A and B are shown apart, each in its own frame.
Chain A
Amino acid sequence: MPTIATTKPAVSPKISSVTNFFHGRLWRRLSKRKSALVGLFVVLFVVAVAILAPLLAPYDPASQSWTAVRKAPSMAHLFGTDEAGRDILSRIIWGTRASLLAGLTSVGIAMAIGVPLGLAAGFLGGVVDGFISRFTDAMLACPFLILAIALAAFLGPSLTNAMLAIGITAMPLFIRLTRGQVLSIRAEEYIEAASAVGNPRWRIAVRHILPNILPQLMVQATLTIASAIIAEASMSFLGLGLQPPAPSWGSMLNSAQRFMSNAPWMALWPGMAIFMTVLSFNLLGDGLRDALDPRSR
């Protein structure tokens, strides 16, 4: 079962900040890390494949051919064909869209709800903080995938519902991270200075605190995308995600399991695709975290 990597909130807000990012310092540090660069390269490659899917795919991913069922990889079908004679390479290429979409949209949902709630909890404190934090604790007490599957099953099987379920499940991570970062930033003298020049509270939260926690949020988002992609694949595997015949890596794995002994390529390629994509997002996320951590040079 996938667990979600969490960023260490120990990243000092004093030195790491968006200014580093905009001033190319982040890029310079990131480019010194080979693994992060490989991750970045693969992520960009996957994104390009998703965008260019209609141009790259040699066949229609849903068109069946009863004359080419479960054919091993060949020049005509580089990755082979599946049990309905569909070209696996084309399905992998189109499946990139579902995976990326699931990763990005669900993390987008998680951040859109989680970051404001975390900001409110950390900045307002008191009863608001108590309520939001207890809610977060309760949600984090449930295993990530189990909760997501339960939500998706409740909402009904579709890619949209799966993304929603993953997004809601990943939300407490962002609440907790944002809250912790806000607590550390709000103790900074420049926040006191911002109130000493007459800024209202909402403006201090949004204009003065939020920009300083963006780097940490960015790292967490990258790592969560990887988890969300696995979660989407798992749900599609269980039939809760993208519905056949639309191509999804998870559902491809599901149909492949019945033919493991005589058509192993059916499982190999989607498995590889998930593995590579998730690994590269994790490498990129770890690289970003290290690059933003002032203690490591």
Chain B
Amino acid sequence: MSTSSDLIQDKSARSDRADDHAALVLRVDDLRVVFEDDTRTVTAVDGVSFDVRKGRTLAIVGESGSGKSVTSLAVMRLLPEHTARVSGSINFAGRELLEETTSGMRSLRGNRMGMIFQEPMTSLNPSYTVGEQINEVILRHRQISKKEATERGIAMLKLVRIPSPETRYRQYPHNLSGGMRQRVMIAMALACEPELLIADEPTTALDVTIQAQVLELMGELRQKTGTAIVLITHDLGVVAESCDDVIVMYAGQVVEQCSVEDLFTFPQHPYTVGLLGSLPRLDEKREQLVAITGTVPDMANPPSGCRFRARCPFSIDKCAEMPTLMEISPGHLSRCWRAPLQDLVP
């Protein structure tokens, strides 16, 4: 089976694939997140749907403010409840997370779903040793003794290839470098063998060599444990290197959804084309990187019709009408009236 047909959103196509269904870890359907305060209402995520399967990595790509981080926080139910209204459906391993109780969510977080944050320098508590923080997660979710937890913690540090794990275990975060801390975060997130790992820009704050190591490590652990990964990033290089499927988000909506191969060979949304154009490459001679003109629209009052219209080189009159997410080829969805774009791109 080709990878491109794995992420079909079409409901009838879904039911045909019973074997895929079995491996489904997370199904997000028509997710909508609205932030409200006294003065304005912002729809940060607008009808996002995607599936994540066991042992696969889904990338959520988009620029700042496109709603990708909000999507991941919504899945973990970590958005502030009094300001964020979340609707739609988030189905994790057969459980509807939006209907889950607070204590139900607590028993899932850190246990069956793990999360890695962007800033390794600030995502560990400076007041506790690395070991105390890993132990806390393990002891919260596993009925084992402190000694066993410590053994497990050190084994996890070994697994993420931290040198002299016994020593590091007793050290404080300020004794560790950024790359090392991100490994500790990964060790913590994977300590209870979660079925789903959400990584919110895990490599953005790291330098390039460490980035590659961390990505490689995540890929390896995914193969070992079968954990499904949702990788949030704005870095298409990271996507190409480590992901299977991609959704591209723009202004709170999914604008393109396909396999990684399709994304790089046949991008079907002008925004994706723009993103690829702004990527520096070694194999082609480019005089200048192409920047996408304009800025992301204000989400407090989004423009009517296609949200990319004002910045799009291909826009036509029909774009004043909001396009739907249409299947261009099997498993390849695009929210563009002009797709397929092959004929338009020179």
Contacts and interface: CB of A to CB of B under 8 A. Distances in A.
B103, B105, B106, B141: residue with the most chain A Cβ atoms closer than 10 Å:
B106
A275 interface: no
B172 interface: yes
A196 B115 contact: yes
A19 B127 contact: yes
B63 interface: no
Interface stretch (A161-169, A187-195, A251-259): A187-195
Contacts of B286: none
15 contacts: A19-B172, A189-B122, A190-B126, A192-B123, A193-B185, A195-B78, A195-B109, A196-B78, A197-B110, A197-B136, A197-B137, A198-B108, A199-B106, A199-B140, A212-B127
Contact of A211 (B117, B127, B174): B127
Nearest to A213: B127
A190 B185 CA distance: 10
B266 to A, nearest CB: 36
B122 A198 contact: no
B141 A193 contact: no
B127 A17 contact: yes
B57 to A, nearest CB: 19
A198 B172 contact: no
Contacts of B128: 211
A193 B111 CA distance: 13
Nearest to B110: A197
A-side interface mostly = helix
A23 interface: yes
Interface in B124-149: 124-128, 136-137, 140-141
B127 A189 contact: no
A195 B117 CA distance: 12
A295 interface: no
Contacts of A189: 117-119, 122-123
A189 B122 CA distance: 6
A33 interface: no
A28 to B, nearest CB: 15
Contacts of A192: 78, 117, 123
Contacts of A24: none
Interface residues of A, number: 22
Nearest to B113: A196
Contacts of A14: 122, 126
Nearest to A17: B126
A193 B107 contact: no
A208 interface: yes
Nearest to A201: B102
Contact of A190 (B111, B124, B137, B174): B124
Contact of A188 (B76, B103, B115, B122): B122
Contacts of A18: 127
B82 interface: yes
Contacts of B174: 19
Please provide the 10 A-B residue pairs with the shortest distance between their CB atoms, ordered closest to farther: A197-B110, A198-B109, A211-B127, A198-B110, A196-B115, A189-B123, A198-B106, A189-B122, A190-B125, A17-B126
B126 A19 contact: yes
Contact of A200 (B106, B122, B125, B172): B106
A151 to B, nearest CB: 36
Contacts of A196: 76, 78, 109-110, 114-115, 117
A200 B76 CA distance: 14
Nearest to A212: B127
A195 B109 CA distance: 8
Contacts of B172: 19, 23
B188 interface: yes
B109 A190 contact: no
